[in-house]
Structure 1
Amino acid sequence: MLLQPPPRDVREFEAVLPEWNPDVDDMLVCRQVREETHDVKTFVFSARYPCQFRFRPGQFLTFDLPLEGGMIQRCYTISASAARPFRATITVKRVPRGPGSNWLHDNLKPGSEIRAVGPMGEFVPDLFSEKKWLLLSAGSGITPLMSMARTAADLGDDRDIIFLHAARSPRDIIFRQELDMMARQQEGMRLALICESLSEEKSWPGLTGRLSNVMLQLIAPDLDEREVYCCGPEPFMEAVRVMLVELGYDMERYHQESFDFAVMEEEEPFEMPVVDDGVEHATFRVELARSGQVLECGPDMTILNAARAAGLRLPSSCARGLCGSCKSHMVSGSVDMKHGGGIRQREIDQGQILLCCSRPTSDVVIDR
């Protein structure tokens, strides 16, 4: 049966509703705060004026957080479905000593405004492929995989999905009720939960302990037929990689988030180093082609730090060459770039650099 076209006024509404553009207005409004667990909250955002968010499941936004010691940038994965474009959500675990997560938990309320840029990130699935998925997550690493699962459900994608999530205890399972509901309602989705300890849970239906080769084979006996997406603390992702190699899995089909949000969250706010050794150091000219702004950058300073010293706000988060949020095209010049995996070799060959870990070796022009 053919679907009837939507009413004329709905079509016109969608046609005139613009996409959110942080270059025009980077302010988001917190519309709702939801308690997910005892230390995890979901923050729901929309723009100040009606618009649509365009992102791929697995991508993240980078936020400006106004701490007492100064502004810091933190990136958080979008946990919402990409098929619901009118709002964006992030789901954040409070990290001990984590300046970003603690500020969000303590200060962000419905009606609060916050600046953000994005979306960004390459940890995204191929929604047009019919391949089976194995989603592996631990702790707050569930957020990009939840976006993938939610998007598939909203698109009516009946692909075969195994969603395996590891948590410290049942009370730490993020989205537990929604995951149970999705597994009941979607014929192609199977859910597996693993907890290290059971705490007060008396009738636990899942597995106990830590993920092992035996568990992985039990949960996904057809592992070789699946595309694997993994996100969680680095020790968890490393353990998964070792298991898959031991099981003979084709690692060309393995995908993981390129950086550990929790480790980044523990970092202190950025402070510019002060160099006063009595020696005059050569500087290079860094031009931002779009804005026409020019920076002076010493050979021992990254381009991102030079921009911060000049009071410029450029997209960034990890500041260690891991997340890729500061990726930019270098129009001319040369740099010494020591990255941590946040950029692919083919991107480097195309002239892309990461501003956070690139030190100029000549005058440079950046497409920013």
Structure 2
Amino acid sequence: MTSAQNGHGPSEAAVELADGVWNGEADDTLICQAVWQETHDVKTFVLKPAAPGRFRFQPGQFMTYAFEIGGEVIYRCYTISSAPTRPDRLCLTVKRVPGGAVSNWLHDTMRPGMRVRAVGPMGEFTCGSRTGRKYLFLSGGSGITPLMSMARTFQDLGQQEDVVFAHSARTAADIVFREELEAMARVNPAFRFVPIAEGTTPLAPWNGLRGRLSRAILDLVAPDFMEREVFVCGPAAYMAAVRDMLRAAGFDMARYHDESFDFGALPAAEQAEAAEAEAQLEGDAEAAVKTYTVEFTKTRRSIQVPATTTVLEAAKRAGMRLPSSCSQGLCGTCKSKKVSGTVEMSHQGGIRQREIDAGMVLLCCSRPTSDLVIER
């Protein structure tokens, strides 16, 4: 009796692959399929569309998610850590952040079968449109995720791009995707993985490179770095240090790439100084500009917003703390319900037309054209 006659043949395969492409405009719901423990404080959440569909994105791009936590919808941007070469799943890899509302909720609550809404993909931080054959990937901490997507894509396609992947972590126990990256390096001589541990602990001994990324380490792991296309992702301080290092070396910064928008990485004092300087420069011009009243229903605050200023910018100047990330209409973090009034909104894909039709706006790129009432 054959396996097909036994009822276990291809006609009753347990694996079903979708034919169409996931359309977030039609259905933005994703379902958690699995949860993987990567390190002691990092988990990967494997997602698939509620309706059958395959994901299309460029390696390095991100998604914006809407999480319902404690009766409130919280928006967050997370890079896709999986590769577009495996389009039937989308992987979200998250590090638990002390006090982080979303990261802790995901680690403690998200389970297979649970649902989350998402919009995307978005972002220009990708190797997909580059033509270079020699790359240097530099990542710190959870900044490894977009570069992992790129590395997985090269590996799946069997392409022989010369890649040096140097990842910095606190200890050996904090190196995310370590085993997979080491396996990729073993089978592909064109791919080199160089983990760097800042320190050690009794439970995480380390014989590899130690300390923080420096010019000496860079010269050791990639002596030809001046010839490479460089992709960098990590904490703001890490990326600033890498930029300074490369500029000091005379690197052609046209071949340097990091995230294309700022996630509010500047210290609060510098943000306040910049806002104050901007307000001073714009003061005279705004004196002749129409000003509208914007009311926030939940906080019961009312502010005056010039027609030339975004609602988010004016709110920050007034001392209000509103959720925001990119400030360019990309991520959707500041998405809010407009109860009444009109705005001029110039977004970059962070909101869908059906949401606009339902009265939602992105505060970071919306300028008032009348008095407003915002549900915040």
- 1:224 is displaced (CA, Å) by 1.3
Q: Hey, what's the Cα distance between the residues in 1 that align with 2:190 and 2:254?
A: 24
In structure 2, relative to structure 1, the CA distance for the partners of 1:29 and 1:202 (3 Å cut) is closer
Contact 1:232 1:260 (8 Å CA) reproduced? no
RMSD: 3.6
Deviates more, 1:126-135 or 1:47-56: 126-135
1:275 is aligned to: 301
Of 44, 47, 54, 1:45 maps to 47
Aligned length: 303
- Structure 2 gaps of 5+ residues are 1-9, 11-15, 267-295, 316-321, 334-341, 350-360, 371-376
Task: Write the deviation string for residues 3-34 of structure 1: whole angstroms up to 9, x where unpaired.
Answer: xxxx9xxxxx98x8211111111111100000
Question: Is the aligned partner of 1:360 residue 2:370?
Answer: no
- 1:241 is displaced (CA, Å) by 0.4
The AA in structure 1 aligned to 2:98 is P
2:67 alignment partner, SS class: strand
- Structure 1 gaps of 5+ residues are 1-6, 8-12, 265-269, 285-297, 306-315, 328-332, 344-353, 364-368
Q: Hey, what's the Cα distance between the residues in 1 that align with 2:155 and 2:113?
A: 30
Task: Write the deviation string for residues 198-230 of structure 1: whole angstroms up to 9, x where unpaired.
Answer: 112676232111111111111111111100000
2:114 is aligned to: 112
Contact 2:172 2:197 (8 Å CA) reproduced? yes
In structure 2, relative to structure 1, the CA distance for the partners of 1:271 and 1:197 (3 Å cut) is farther
Contact 2:198 2:211 (8 Å CA) reproduced? yes
2:330 is aligned to: 324
Task: Write the deviation string for residues 22-69 of structure 1: whole angstroms up to 9, x where unpaired.
Answer: 111111110000000000000001112321000000111111111115
1:1-368 to structure 2, matched below 5 A, reads 17-68=19-70, 70-126=72-128, 129-200=131-202, 204-258=206-260, 273-276=299-302, 301-302=311-312, 318-321=324-327, 324-326=330-332, 355-360=362-367, 362=369
Q: Hey, what's the Cα distance between the residues in 1 that align with 2:257 and 2:326?
A: 20
The AA in structure 2 aligned to 1:357 is C
Q: Normalising by the residue count of structure 1, what TM-score does the alignment of the two structures yield?
A: 0.73
2:311 alignment partner, SS class: coil
Contact 1:79 1:146 (8 Å CA) reproduced? yes
- 1:186 is displaced (CA, Å) by 1.1
Q: Normalising by the residue count of structure 2, what TM-score does the alignment of the two structures yield?
A: 0.71
Task: Indicate the percent of aligned positions where both proteins have the same amino acid.
Answer: 46
- 1:129 is displaced (CA, Å) by 1.6
Q: Hey, what's the Cα distance between the residues in 2 that align with 1:283 and 1:259?
A: 25
Task: Write the deviation string for residues 126-173 of structure 1: whole angstroms up to 9, x where unpaired.
Answer: 456242110000100000000000001101111100000000000000
Task: Write the deviation string for residues 247-293 of structure 1: whole angstroms up to 9, x where unpaired.
Answer: 111111100124577969xxxxx99543358xxx6898xxxxxxxxx
The AA in structure 2 aligned to 1:21 is N
1:187 alignment partner, SS class: coil
